[in-house]
Protein backbone atom coordinates (compact mmCIF):
# COMPACT_ATOMS: atom_id res chain seq x y z
CA UNK A 1 0.00 0.00 0.00
CA UNK A 2 1.48 3.29 -1.00
CA UNK A 3 1.42 5.95 1.59
CA UNK A 4 1.37 8.89 -0.73
CA UNK A 5 -0.19 11.98 0.68
CA UNK A 6 -2.88 14.12 -0.76
CA UNK A 7 -2.16 15.87 -4.00
CA UNK A 8 -1.54 19.53 -3.17
CA UNK A 9 -4.45 20.64 -5.32
CA UNK A 10 -6.91 18.29 -3.60
CA UNK A 11 -5.66 19.48 -0.25
CA UNK A 12 -6.34 23.09 -1.22
CA UNK A 13 -9.79 22.14 -2.59
CA UNK A 14 -10.68 20.69 0.80
CA UNK A 15 -9.20 23.69 2.62
CA UNK A 16 -11.28 26.14 0.59
CA UNK A 17 -14.44 24.12 1.25
CA UNK A 18 -13.59 24.15 4.92
CA UNK A 19 -12.85 27.88 4.79
CA UNK A 20 -16.34 28.53 3.37
CA UNK A 21 -17.90 26.30 6.01
CA UNK A 22 -15.87 27.64 8.92
CA UNK A 23 -16.50 31.29 8.07
CA UNK A 24 -20.15 30.55 7.39
CA UNK A 25 -19.95 32.21 4.01
CA UNK A 26 -23.34 32.57 2.34
CA UNK A 27 -24.23 32.29 -1.37
CA UNK A 28 -22.76 35.19 -3.36
CA UNK A 29 -20.32 36.08 -0.56
CA UNK A 30 -16.92 36.97 -1.96
CA UNK A 31 -13.89 34.81 -1.27
CA UNK A 32 -10.62 36.55 -0.32
CA UNK A 33 -8.33 37.52 -3.19
CA UNK A 34 -5.93 34.97 -4.68
CA UNK A 35 -3.04 36.55 -2.83
CA UNK A 36 -4.84 36.45 0.52
CA UNK A 37 -6.00 32.88 -0.03
CA UNK A 38 -2.47 31.76 -0.87
CA UNK A 39 -1.27 33.24 2.39
CA UNK A 40 -4.19 31.93 4.42
CA UNK A 41 -3.92 28.38 3.05
CA UNK A 42 -0.15 28.32 2.62
CA UNK A 43 -0.12 27.43 -1.05
CA UNK A 44 1.20 28.60 -4.40
CA UNK A 45 -0.77 30.54 -7.02
CA UNK A 46 -0.68 27.66 -9.50
CA UNK A 47 -2.06 25.16 -7.02
CA UNK A 48 -4.69 27.62 -5.85
CA UNK A 49 -5.86 28.24 -9.42
CA UNK A 50 -6.13 24.52 -10.05
CA UNK A 51 -8.22 24.13 -6.91
CA UNK A 52 -10.48 27.05 -7.82
CA UNK A 53 -11.07 25.58 -11.28
CA UNK A 54 -12.06 22.26 -9.69
CA UNK A 55 -14.50 23.97 -7.28
CA UNK A 56 -16.06 25.95 -10.12
CA UNK A 57 -16.65 22.76 -12.11
CA UNK A 58 -18.29 21.21 -9.07
CA UNK A 59 -20.57 24.20 -8.71
CA UNK A 60 -19.32 25.19 -5.25
CA UNK A 61 -18.01 28.59 -6.25
CA UNK A 62 -18.27 30.80 -9.32
CA UNK A 63 -16.09 33.54 -10.68
CA UNK A 64 -16.95 36.85 -12.26
CA UNK A 65 -14.34 38.35 -14.53
CA UNK A 66 -12.57 41.20 -12.82
CA UNK A 67 -14.68 40.90 -9.68
CA UNK A 68 -13.35 37.77 -8.01
CA UNK A 69 -14.64 34.44 -6.78
CA UNK A 70 -17.93 33.95 -4.97
CA UNK A 71 -19.79 31.22 -3.13
CA UNK A 72 -22.30 29.62 -5.50
CA UNK A 73 -25.95 29.55 -4.46
CA UNK A 74 -27.21 26.15 -3.34
CA UNK A 75 -28.77 24.19 -6.14
CA UNK A 76 -32.38 23.18 -5.77
CA UNK A 77 -32.52 19.47 -4.92
CA UNK A 78 -35.19 17.41 -6.60
CA UNK A 79 -35.83 13.99 -5.16
CA UNK A 80 -36.38 11.58 -8.02
CA UNK A 81 -38.34 9.15 -5.90
CA UNK A 82 -41.22 11.24 -4.70
CA UNK A 83 -43.85 13.18 -6.54
CA UNK A 84 -43.51 16.33 -4.56
CA UNK A 85 -43.83 19.22 -6.96
CA UNK A 86 -40.83 21.36 -7.79
CA UNK A 87 -42.73 24.31 -6.32
CA UNK A 88 -42.96 22.57 -2.97
CA UNK A 89 -39.27 21.59 -2.94
CA UNK A 90 -38.43 25.19 -3.77
CA UNK A 91 -40.61 26.56 -1.01
CA UNK A 92 -38.93 24.30 1.54
CA UNK A 93 -35.61 26.10 0.93
CA UNK A 94 -37.12 29.58 0.64
CA UNK A 95 -36.90 29.76 -3.11
CA UNK A 96 -39.71 30.87 -5.35
CA UNK A 97 -40.66 28.83 -8.37
CA UNK A 98 -42.45 30.59 -11.20
CA UNK A 99 -43.72 29.31 -14.50
CA UNK A 100 -44.02 30.76 -17.96
CA UNK A 101 -46.17 28.94 -20.51
CA UNK A 102 -44.25 28.94 -23.79
CA UNK A 103 -46.64 27.03 -25.95
CA UNK A 104 -49.88 25.04 -25.85
CA UNK A 105 -51.71 23.15 -28.57
CA UNK A 106 -54.00 20.24 -29.21
CA UNK A 107 -52.38 17.91 -31.70
CA UNK A 108 -53.09 14.54 -33.24
CA UNK A 109 -51.10 11.64 -31.96
CA UNK A 110 -48.18 10.78 -34.28
CA UNK A 111 -46.19 7.58 -34.51
CA UNK A 112 -43.68 8.43 -31.80
CA UNK A 113 -46.32 9.52 -29.29
CA UNK A 114 -48.56 6.59 -30.15
CA UNK A 115 -45.80 4.24 -29.10
CA UNK A 116 -44.96 6.16 -25.96
CA UNK A 117 -48.49 6.84 -24.74
CA UNK A 118 -50.19 3.72 -26.03
CA UNK A 119 -52.77 5.78 -27.91
CA UNK A 120 -53.99 5.22 -31.46
CA UNK A 121 -52.70 7.45 -34.23
CA UNK A 122 -54.78 10.57 -34.50
CA UNK A 123 -55.95 10.59 -30.85
CA UNK A 124 -56.08 14.08 -29.43
CA UNK A 125 -53.16 15.16 -27.29
CA UNK A 126 -52.81 18.34 -25.30
CA UNK A 127 -49.25 19.76 -25.50
CA UNK A 128 -48.01 22.07 -22.82
CA UNK A 129 -44.57 23.59 -22.86
CA UNK A 130 -43.44 25.40 -19.75
CA UNK A 131 -40.35 27.25 -18.61
CA UNK A 132 -39.73 26.96 -14.87
CA UNK A 133 -37.77 29.60 -13.03
CA UNK A 134 -36.20 29.51 -9.59
CA UNK A 135 -36.00 32.96 -8.04
CA UNK A 136 -36.40 34.34 -11.54
CA UNK A 137 -33.56 32.30 -13.07
CA UNK A 138 -34.63 29.91 -15.86
CA UNK A 139 -33.91 26.40 -14.56
CA UNK A 140 -35.82 23.95 -16.72
CA UNK A 141 -37.95 23.60 -19.82
CA UNK A 142 -40.62 20.97 -19.92
CA UNK A 143 -42.80 19.65 -22.71
CA UNK A 144 -45.77 17.61 -21.58
CA UNK A 145 -48.07 15.49 -23.75
CA UNK A 146 -51.39 14.74 -22.10
CA UNK A 147 -54.12 12.35 -23.19
CA UNK A 148 -56.85 14.87 -24.08
CA UNK A 149 -59.68 12.33 -23.82
CA UNK A 150 -59.16 12.34 -20.05
CA UNK A 151 -59.00 16.12 -19.74
CA UNK A 152 -61.42 17.78 -22.17
CA UNK A 153 -61.28 21.55 -21.85
CA UNK A 154 -57.96 21.55 -20.00
CA UNK A 155 -56.66 24.15 -22.46
CA UNK A 156 -58.76 26.83 -20.72
CA UNK A 157 -56.56 26.78 -17.61
CA UNK A 158 -53.62 29.11 -17.21
CA UNK A 159 -50.73 26.88 -16.23
CA UNK A 160 -48.45 29.77 -15.47
CA UNK A 161 -50.63 30.13 -12.36
CA UNK A 162 -52.22 26.71 -11.84
CA UNK A 163 -50.56 23.42 -11.01
CA UNK A 164 -51.14 20.86 -13.75
CA UNK A 165 -51.41 17.91 -11.38
CA UNK A 166 -53.77 19.77 -9.07
CA UNK A 167 -56.18 20.57 -11.93
CA UNK A 168 -55.98 16.96 -13.14
CA UNK A 169 -56.85 15.66 -9.73
CA UNK A 170 -59.34 18.21 -8.46
CA UNK A 171 -61.19 19.13 -11.63
CA UNK A 172 -60.94 15.90 -13.65
CA UNK A 173 -60.65 13.47 -10.76
CA UNK A 174 -57.79 11.65 -12.44
CA UNK A 175 -55.40 10.61 -9.76
CA UNK A 176 -51.74 10.20 -10.54
CA UNK A 177 -50.51 7.02 -8.98
CA UNK A 178 -46.99 6.29 -10.16
CA UNK A 179 -44.50 6.94 -12.89
CA UNK A 180 -41.01 6.41 -14.15
CA UNK A 181 -38.27 8.68 -15.39
CA UNK A 182 -35.21 8.15 -17.50
CA UNK A 183 -32.28 10.50 -17.19
CA UNK A 184 -29.38 11.32 -19.48
CA UNK A 185 -27.40 14.28 -20.80
CA UNK A 186 -27.93 16.39 -23.89
CA UNK A 187 -26.84 19.76 -25.27
CA UNK A 188 -29.12 22.77 -25.68
CA UNK A 189 -30.02 24.01 -29.13
CA UNK A 190 -29.82 27.68 -29.99
CA UNK A 191 -33.50 28.25 -29.21
CA UNK A 192 -33.30 26.45 -25.89
CA UNK A 193 -30.11 28.29 -24.99
CA UNK A 194 -31.95 31.56 -25.35
CA UNK A 195 -34.87 30.45 -23.19
CA UNK A 196 -32.67 28.99 -20.50
CA UNK A 197 -30.24 31.91 -20.65
CA UNK A 198 -27.17 29.74 -21.16
CA UNK A 199 -24.63 29.44 -23.97
CA UNK A 200 -25.55 27.46 -27.07
CA UNK A 201 -24.39 23.85 -26.66
CA UNK A 202 -24.35 23.85 -22.85
CA UNK A 203 -24.77 20.32 -21.47
CA UNK A 204 -27.97 19.82 -19.50
CA UNK A 205 -29.87 16.95 -17.91
CA UNK A 206 -32.37 15.39 -20.27
CA UNK A 207 -35.31 13.65 -18.67
CA UNK A 208 -38.18 11.73 -20.14
CA UNK A 209 -40.96 10.35 -18.01
CA UNK A 210 -44.34 8.72 -17.90
CA UNK A 211 -47.08 9.18 -15.37
CA UNK A 212 -49.81 6.58 -14.88
CA UNK A 213 -53.10 6.08 -13.10
CA UNK A 214 -53.47 3.21 -10.66
CA UNK A 215 -54.74 0.95 -13.48
CA UNK A 216 -51.69 1.72 -15.66
CA UNK A 217 -53.32 4.17 -18.03
CA UNK A 218 -50.81 6.72 -19.37
CA UNK A 219 -51.82 10.18 -18.25
CA UNK A 220 -48.81 12.09 -19.41
CA UNK A 221 -45.53 11.68 -21.25
CA UNK A 222 -42.97 14.43 -20.78
CA UNK A 223 -39.52 15.51 -21.80
CA UNK A 224 -37.54 18.12 -19.98
CA UNK A 225 -34.15 19.71 -20.07
CA UNK A 226 -32.71 20.92 -16.80
CA UNK A 227 -29.86 23.31 -16.07
CA UNK A 228 -27.32 21.38 -14.02
CA UNK A 229 -26.07 24.54 -12.33
CA UNK A 230 -29.53 25.19 -10.92
CA UNK A 231 -30.94 21.79 -10.04
CA UNK A 232 -29.39 18.66 -8.55
CA UNK A 233 -31.14 15.31 -8.32
CA UNK A 234 -31.18 13.03 -5.35
CA UNK A 235 -32.31 9.53 -4.47
CA UNK A 236 -31.93 7.02 -1.69
CA UNK A 237 -30.43 3.65 -2.58
CA UNK A 238 -31.44 0.52 -0.72
CA UNK A 239 -30.91 -3.21 -1.01
Q: Which residues bind another protein (CB under 8 A)?
A: 1-6, 11, 14-15, 17-18, 21-22, 50, 53-54, 57-59, 75, 77, 80-83, 103, 107, 111-112, 127, 129, 141-143, 175-192, 203-206, 208, 223-225, 228, 232-239
Pick the closer one to another protein by CB: 150 or 228. Answer: 228
* Cβ 32 to another protein shortest distance, Å: 17
Pick the closer one to another protein by CB: 66 or 111. Answer: 111
Quick check: 175 and 169 in contact, CB under 8 A? yes
* Cβ 113 to another protein shortest distance, Å: 10
Pick the closer one to another protein by CB: 135 or 195. Answer: 195
d(CA 198, CA 194): 7
* Cβ 38 to another protein shortest distance, Å: 19
Backbone angles phi, psi at 44, to 5 degrees: -90, 165
Quick check: 78 and 231 in contact, CB under 8 A? yes
Quick check: 119 and 178 in contact, CB under 8 A? no
Pick the closer one to another protein by CB: 32 or 179. Answer: 179
Torsional class of 94: left (φ above 0), alpha (ψ -120 to 50), beta (otherwise): left
* Cβ 216 to another protein shortest distance, Å: 13
Quick check: 99 and 130 in contact, CB under 8 A? yes
Grouping H, G, I as helix, E, B as strand and the rest as coil, residue 81 is coil
Pick the closer one to another protein by CB: 69 or 224. Answer: 224
Amino acid sequence: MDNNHLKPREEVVEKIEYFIDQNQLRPHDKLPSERQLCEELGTSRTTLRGAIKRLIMDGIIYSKRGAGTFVAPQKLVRNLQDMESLAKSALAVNKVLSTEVLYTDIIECNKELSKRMKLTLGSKIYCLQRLRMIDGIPAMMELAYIDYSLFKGIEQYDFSQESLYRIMEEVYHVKIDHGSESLSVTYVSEQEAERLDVENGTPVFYITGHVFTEDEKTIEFYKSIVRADQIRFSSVLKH
